[in-house]
Amino acid sequence: MKGLLVVILVLVVAVVGLAYWQGWFSVAKEDGKPKITLNREKFKEDLAAFKKDASAKMSRLKDKVASLRDKAKSHTGADKDKLLQEVEELQAKHDKLETQIKAVEDAGEEKFAGLSDDLKQQLDDIDKKIKELESKLEKK
């Protein structure tokens, strides 16, 4: 139980730190008291930039997965079924990411920071797997 509380505390501190670093809020002293000012426009700009970047990557990945599926189907080898299975796994990951990106669009400021970093990492991982699969298909 202690470990869970520590993890939650670390996540909260990380999200607050990232939000402050991104300029989503600022802290200043006014009349000797701390005052927190939210910058919703900065958050909206960051969210719009993320959506644009993620949409472009998702579109590119979708095209690459379709191309890989065609190459795998036309492949004549003992490992054709394995290649097709890898392509289908990539398609499933792509579909899952698409759903998660739509969830980010509805997320508030607190959830956006953590979700966007995680999704960017997942997009990069899928891109690496696509490149590996492309190189496998090129060799055969």
Ordered by start, the domain boundaries in the chain are: 40-139
Residues ≥6 apart with Cβ < 8 Å to 72: 80, 83, 84, 86, 87, 137
Model confidence pLDDT, tens digit, residues 1-14: 777 777 777 777 77
Separation in Å, CA 10 to CA 24, 38, 120 = 19, 22, 21
Q: What percent of the chain has pLDDT over 70?
A: 83
How does the average pLDDT of the chain come out, rounded?
Answer: 76
Model confidence pLDDT, tens digit, residues 68-105: 888 777 777 677 778 778 888 888 887 887 777 777 66
CA 73 to CA 103: how far, in whole Å? 33
Amino acid making up residue 16: V
Residue 114 pLDDT greater than 70, yes or no: no
Separation in Å, CA 43 to CA 22, 23, 133 = 8, 8, 37
